[in-house]
A and B are shown apart, each in its own frame.
Chain A
């Protein structure tokens, strides 16, 4: 909560604390490494300061220490700050193991030699994960550098009780016309149809991803993000034409809200639908069990029947080993434990719902909301990570984020915005 009040102050302070603790941890680790074997203490960089995920990370650490007697220090950093500092962090004295994301974002750092090849860990526990997860954990050299821990789908979230009062059944929102009718109905009730945020510059990327995938299909979306298709293509303009149709149903202060502000709109029953990743279920649960039980998700509706509802953004979060850490062997053992079913069970012991990436997790024990997430995921044939995980980092952050914000300010300037995005892509240095 403190984090929400004064976000960045906490970032900075925690960052310093984390850095200090990390430094001390590493100094301690090196000192001990002299006398003990490679099973010395391990430091673990956790990229969150939110209550629930902190508790889950701590649970893994405690379970590992209880099992092996090896001391693990978890250093918590607010996720934006962690992300912004990652490259410096990995080149300096990083924690031995750290939380990160799959896909392009992981490959980039693996290519730079900043991550430890953990293919041998995959040889041991790889059978606990599906093949698509292995692909998402593989670097461009064919080795694995990442172990997935959890995932969440992006979809339309709503409160069952609100919809029941209004007499809407969001499960029936199958295509674009259904969606527009539902939004109109919500607006008629004096509600915001679709809660939206883009102050952080990334929140709206999820809406772009799904519109592009629904209208132009998975392949076009992937090709666009890889630079094989052009932003100036009429197909992309079509995406923005649809997006513009949603604007009248959104809150007017999109650029003044971060994701948790838009979530508040849903939590406080001011908005009917919320397009976001399901991770915020934990925030609803922190609020109350009733709020959590009231939460539901459906896939974003079909727009182009050729593509149906075949694609979904379902980012994979997990753990990696830093090459500049001081205890690679110890860190490998730790990440193996953390991603394995033992780590999953440790997290489940906190009572916080977890959709883990581990095949051995008993999904029959999922609560109804989690089962629905699984169903939404199951309907999709293609899985994408998220725009800022699927394209070059020097494009996603500095170019796409501000461009989408500019579009929110003036939707009529879409042509010049897209032209500018394309010319900025063309000006990127060769990789």
Chain B
């Protein structure tokens, strides 16, 4: 950068600054200051405090009881706690299922609806409906259906003792949960993707058709690349949704080890009477697991953009 250009640019900035009156500054100060303060106080402070506390022993009651534990909580989790690995396994299944089954299904549905197949309005509402419900409500609904004394077992005429153990049998309970979670996730992805598809310029598709591309080729080579920003969001959301899973499992299993997942382990160890900072360590592990792949992925994407 040369010296000549630096001077006028400085002037420009100074001139631009003069546009702010005192009142503007105060207003801006409020608009930026208050959210920043709240963000730091309510998000960053607790997050950093949690990281700090994960290296301590504490029952969560009296501040003076905090004692340094070093890596003990982490060692305990990694080498002493088999349920942690069960949870990692379940969360991995969750993420793979979402990635390879639920999310592609959502994309497929969005594409079909965007092509305005017959009855697409009906499909759209039907698939979108579950998205309006929180995961907790989803859990309540499915629990009502699949409990031993629930609707499905009732319909099959099975007494409690012979009821199909949808939530209790470890051979298939994770898949039951996956279907429940997908019920909502598919609609969510469909909605996001549909919004993206609507924004794709129709001329692109036309051009592809004129060039003699098949439907699949059009999607693969033209629409999909044009949807890059939405694709990034969908991937990030898929990762986040699978790792932060908590509400639905908590509704069905409570805080016990019925179906261990990381979110429930955090809760089980940090809330309640048995509060210990092992829970904080779980939270940090979960935080790292969610943030590292996302940051890596986003960095990769932005690097491509810069290039």
Contacts and interface: CB of A to CB of B under 8 A. Distances in A.
Contacts of B168: 199, 253-257
Interface string A385-417: 000000011111110011101100100000010
Contacts of B260: 402
Interface stretch (A1-9, A44-52, A124-132, A235-243): A1-9
Given A199-B258, A256-B166, A261-B160, A397 B268 contact: yes
B272 A84 contact: yes
Nearest to A258: B254
B129 interface: no
A112 interface: yes
A256 B163 CA distance: 9
A270 B160 contact: yes
Interface stretch (B4-12, B78-86, B102-110, B229-237): B78-86
B160 A257 contact: yes
A87 B272 contact: yes
| Contact-residue size bin, chain B (C-beta under 8 Å from the other chain) | 35 or more
A401 B269 CA distance: 12
A402 B272 CA distance: 16
B256 A105 contact: no
B256 A405 contact: yes
B72 interface: yes
Nearest to A426: B80
B159 interface: yes
Interface stretch (B45-53, B60-68, B92-100, B211-219): B60-68
A96 B255 CA distance: 27
A190 to B, nearest CB: 10
B80 A409 contact: no
Interface in A76-124: 80, 83-88, 91, 105, 108, 112-114
A251 interface: yes
B62 A424 contact: no
Counting chain B CB atoms within 10 Å of each CB, which of A114, A393, A398, A424 scores highest?
A: A398
A420 B82 contact: yes
B258 A405 contact: yes
Interface string A1-32: 00001111100100000000000000000000
26 contacts: A6-B140, A8-B136, A9-B140, A83-B273, A86-B273, A199-B258, A200-B254, A200-B256, A253-B160, A255-B167, A257-B148, A261-B148, A264-B149, A265-B161, A393-B274, A394-B273, A395-B274, A398-B268, A398-B269, A402-B83, A405-B257, A406-B257, A420-B80, A420-B81, A423-B80, A429-B67
